[in-house]
Amino acid sequence: MKGSLKMTNLLSRIRNSSKKTKTNTNQHRNRKRFKLRNQNAISIPKDLPSPHEEEDEEEENAEEGFKLKSSAPLLTHGVQPLGNLYLNPGSINSRDTGLGNLHTLSDELVLEILGFLDSTDLGVLSTVSKSFYVFTNHEPLWRNLVLENLNGGFQFNGSWKSTYVAASYPSFDISSNALKSFKVRDFYSDYLFQSWLCANLEMKPEWLERDNIVRKRGISVEEFVLNFEEPNKPVLLEGCIDNWDALENWDRDYLMQLSGDVKFAVGPVEMKLGDYFRYSDQVREERPLYLFDPKFAEKVPKLGSEYEVPVYFREDLFGVLGSERPDYRWIIIGPAGSGSSFHVDPNSTSAWNAVIKGSKKWILFPPDVIPPGVHPSPDGAEVASPVSIIEWFMNFYGATKNWKKKPVECVCKAGEVIFVPNGWWHLVINLEESIAITQNYVSRRNLLNVLDFLNRPNASTLVSGTRDRVNLYDKFKNAIEASFPGEIDELARKAEKKIQQKKLSFWDSVSDSNAGAFKFSF
Amino acid sequence: MELLCIRQWISGLLPTWLSAWCIKPVGGALVRQEPEYILLALMGSPLKKIMLCSSEKEIFSVEEQVMVQHSVIINNMIEDGSYNHEESKIPLDCVDSKTLKKVIDYCTHHTHHHNDNQEDLEAWDAQFLNVDSNGLYDLLMAANYLEIRNLLDLIYGTIKNMIKGKKIDEIRRIFNIKDHGFTPEEEEQNRKEYPHFY
């Protein structure tokens, strides 16, 4: 175990520096195409970290060491990080010899090429050389093949490759093949090692320690609006969903019984609950698929009836649009390690998120503070950030300790509701299998922001959750005017007054301070 | 857009035989032909140029329009103003001169000939990729670095065809893989399980 810990030390350093040079020299290069509401999820072991047994070893490498899941298949093929190659002078990288002329290409480019091949071609390549064997067994390749060809109707079989082969070649005996696994010697690759590492890492306890969010129980709506919604501050509300039937009833069996063969949205596909749970029980990958369905109440009306919007969030002005309103409520189910990497909620809305089962770690940054490691494009349509959530924790969480503007953090447990004010960056990771409900909404407090957002010239790319992006602004404005005549103007007047007041006080302070200081001298 | 106005102005000035030769409307659009650019140059209308610097410190001057249309990276740099036309050159330390010249050729041809018919373009592309194998991968890395989508897709397609449907020995030959890394026992296992691949 110690040996592998040392390897991860080296790797995190290498990863860190390469990321730094990237941002220093050419930040234009970092444009991976991640949409704002990307449900990136990572894979970490299902169990919560239990560091007690390994604490002695951990102490030594206190700052840098990471704990691997004890049952992780230690380096299935024997891939090592590049750092080890540099420590072994005279060693050859069998990755290069096995790739032939392709060895000059980066790992990402090789995998891009393999992404264009079908399963037969991948099979052939896996026997061409040991190096290709390792590359062609990269799970994400097979995940894409499954999702593209089998959609959501797959029976997960331990690995994506097994799943694909079992479904596409039912007569093929996979049991013997799956167990056979060639080991490689002297194969060094940062990308493949990092991929494996992020899939098998545990959350470090110190990443879960900080819990500095304001917690309130039983406050009035007025207090909530005054102290949190108006000033746009997050808060964790306790006890406000105690009356939900969902809290009492919802568990795996109940949900499966209710939904039967109904398919729910899981990433790019739709799956039956039973199939999804079969996958989430077995999976171990960097970004597990996350069940995130905006039509759950329409698909299974009973689910919609077993919860109600907490009293603080009942004013929801998008409701004036009726059935034409953008997506606004989701059921969220996912295994430990799944979650969302840093994003800002769409359409400038605020949100609340209630955990029914399990627990989630939240990290929030205010609108004017971009989280470390995150690079939004100037128009905000794209966000470049680390590939997996665990990678963000590994490389960037430590930086937040020394920042003046520390993030708001918490662990939200079953029965608790977190309020995410509009514009706030947030990252969420499930610490165990979790079931939650979240809704986005517009109240009078953020109505003007939302109208502004919808009215932007590039609304067609930024506005989300509806097919009618371009006209949403007009529709919404007219609907508000119809239901609440004069409201928009009233709010605009109030906002203008506030700005004027702020300006006045600024000039007051300036003239006061100058009164004594400014002296003529000839 | 400026070029369109200039072209219309020029076509108005030119004698009919010349204008018929070098600028012709095709489906409502004006097709750019080489002589037009010569004329523009003669008339002193400067097409904005940018400087690209290869890893061997060789400087290439290219039309801004050409690179902006193809390379996302260069487009972004120009758009957000980090490139100063008077003084700067864009350093491309990952791309050597030979490869950079090829990339510029590709972008220039596709900008000037984007209205050609599909077959002609494909024939040109096939000829363009007729390089030695290492040159192909250098091109791939350059296209990836500069984010030139159509060149990337072209090269990916070519490499995919080098692999598709081939047998193991053929692939080893094509990619010059001398040491496959399998032990004799492992090779034997492979041959038994996948005889149709060999």
Instruction: Determine the topology of domain A82-200 in CATH.
Output: Monooxygenase (1.20.1280)
Residue A180 has pLDDT above 80, yes or no: no
Among chain B residues, CA nearest to A129: B180
Looking at residue A218, its pLDDT comes to: 93
**B176 contact residues in A (CB cutoff 8 A):** 100-101
pLDDT-derived band at B16 (thresholds 50, 70, 90) equals low
Strand partners, A272: A263
Lowest mean pLDDT among A8-22, A297-311, B13-27, B70-84: A8-22
Q: Place domain A205-483 in its CATH homologous superfamily.
A: Cupin (2.60.120.650)
Q: Kindly state the average pLDDT of the residues B3-15.
A: 51
- Calculate ∠ Cα B20-B25-B30, nearest 5°: 105
Averaged confidence pLDDT in chain A: 79
Strand partners, A376: A383
Closest CB to B182: pick one of A117, A123, A130.
A130
Rg (CA), chain B: 23
Q: Do A105 and B140 count as a contact with CB atoms less than 8 A apart?
A: yes
Percentage above 70 pLDDT, chain A: 79
pLDDT-derived band at A521 (thresholds 50, 70, 90) equals very low
Is some CB atom of chain B closer than 8 A to the CB atom of A25? no
**B180 contact residues in A (CB cutoff 8 A):** 98, 128-130
Is some CB atom of chain B closer than 8 A to the CB atom of A165? no
Give the closest-approach CA distance of B12 to chain A in angstroms: 36
Looking at residue A66, its pLDDT comes to: 63
- Calculate ∠ Cα A228-A238-A356, nearest 5°: 115
Q: For residues A426 and A36, give the distance between their C-alpha atoms in angstroms, rounded to a whole number.
A: 11
Q: Kindly state the average pLDDT of the residues B40-67.
A: 79
Provide the 10 A C-beta neighbour count for residue A13. Answer: 12
Strand A339-344 with A359-365, pairing: unpaired
Closest CB to B134: pick one of A101, A112, A121.
A101
Give the closest-approach CA distance of B67 to chain A in angstroms: 15
Looking at residue B12, its pLDDT comes to: 55
Looking at residue A405, its pLDDT comes to: 77
Check: CB of residue A422 under 8 Å from CB of residue A449.
Answer: yes
| Digit-coded pLDDT (tens) for B150-171 | 999 999 999 999 999 999 999 9
Q: Which of A126, A129, A179, A180 to mutate to test the interface with B (most CBs of B within 10 A)?
A: A129
Closest CB to B76: pick one of A28, A113, A180.
A28
Q: Which of A127, A175, A181, A375 to mutate to test the interface with B (most CBs of B within 10 A)?
A: A127
Number of residues that make up chain B: 198
| Digit-coded pLDDT (tens) for A461-515 | 777 777 777 778 888 888 888 888 888 888 888 888 888 877 766 556 555 555 4
Give the closest-approach CA distance of B30 to chain A in angstroms: 29
**Residue boundaries of the structural domains of chain B:** 2-42
**SS3 track for chain B:** CHHHHHHHHHHHHCCHHHHHHHEEEECCEEEECHHHHHHHHHCCCCCCEEEEECCCCCEEEEEHHHHHHHEHHHHHHHHCCCCCCCCCCEECCCCCHHHHHHHHHHHHHHHHCCCCCHHHHHHHHHHHCCCCHHHHHHHHHHHHHHCEHHHHHHHHHHHHHHHCCCCHHHHHHHCCCCCCCCCHHHHHHHHHHCHHHC
Looking at residue A454, its pLDDT comes to: 83
**B190 contact residues in A (CB cutoff 8 A):** 127
**A184 contact residues in B (CB cutoff 8 A):** 181
Among chain B residues, CA nearest to A123: B197
Averaged confidence pLDDT in chain B: 80
Looking at residue B101, its pLDDT comes to: 95
Residue A452 has pLDDT above 70, yes or no: yes
Q: Do B168 and A124 count as a contact with CB atoms less than 8 A apart?
A: yes
CA-to-CA dists, residue A144 to A15, A112, A282, angstroms: 26, 12, 18
Lowest mean pLDDT among A121-130, A406-415, A476-485, B129-138: A476-485
**B163 contact residues in A (CB cutoff 8 A):** 117, 121, 124-125
Closest CB to A113: pick one of B141, B159, B189.
B159
Among chain B residues, CA nearest to A114: B160
Among chain B residues, CA nearest to A184: B181
Q: Kindly state the average pLDDT of the residues B51-79.
A: 91
Q: Do A28 and B159 count as a contact with CB atoms less than 8 A apart?
A: no
Q: Do A101 and B137 count as a contact with CB atoms less than 8 A apart?
A: yes
Tell me the longest C-alpha to C-alpha distance in chain B. Answer: 79
Is some CB atom of chain B closer than 8 A to the CB atom of A180? yes
Q: Which residue has the higher pLDDT, A59 or A460?
A: A460
**A179 contact residues in B (CB cutoff 8 A):** none
Q: Could you say which residues from 345 to 384 on chain A have a Cβ atom under 8 Å away from some Cβ of chain B?
A: 378
Give the closest-approach CA distance of A98 to chain B in angstroms: 5
| Digit-coded pLDDT (tens) for A50-102 | 233 333 333 333 334 566 665 455 456 788 888 888 887 778 888 999 999 99
Secondary structure element (H or E) that encloses residue A427, with its range = strand A425-430
Strand partners, A265: A270
Looking at residue A491, its pLDDT comes to: 85
Secondary structure element (H or E) that encloses residue A156, with its range = none
pLDDT-derived band at A6 (thresholds 50, 70, 90) equals very low
Looking at residue A86, its pLDDT comes to: 80
Q: Kindly state the average pLDDT of the residues A264-284.
A: 94
Among chain B residues, CA nearest to A28: B73
Looking at residue A49, its pLDDT comes to: 31
Which amino acid, A3?
A: G
**B194 contact residues in A (CB cutoff 8 A):** 123-124, 127
| Digit-coded pLDDT (tens) for A213-265 | 999 999 999 999 999 999 999 999 999 999 999 999 999 999 999 999 999 99
Which amino acid, B14?
A: L
ipTM, 2 decimals? 0.75
Q: Kindly state the average pLDDT of the residues A413-434.
A: 95
Looking at residue A355, its pLDDT comes to: 97
Q: Do B141 and A112 count as a contact with CB atoms less than 8 A apart?
A: no
Q: Kindly state the average pLDDT of the residues A145-160.
A: 91
Q: Do B141 and A104 count as a contact with CB atoms less than 8 A apart?
A: yes
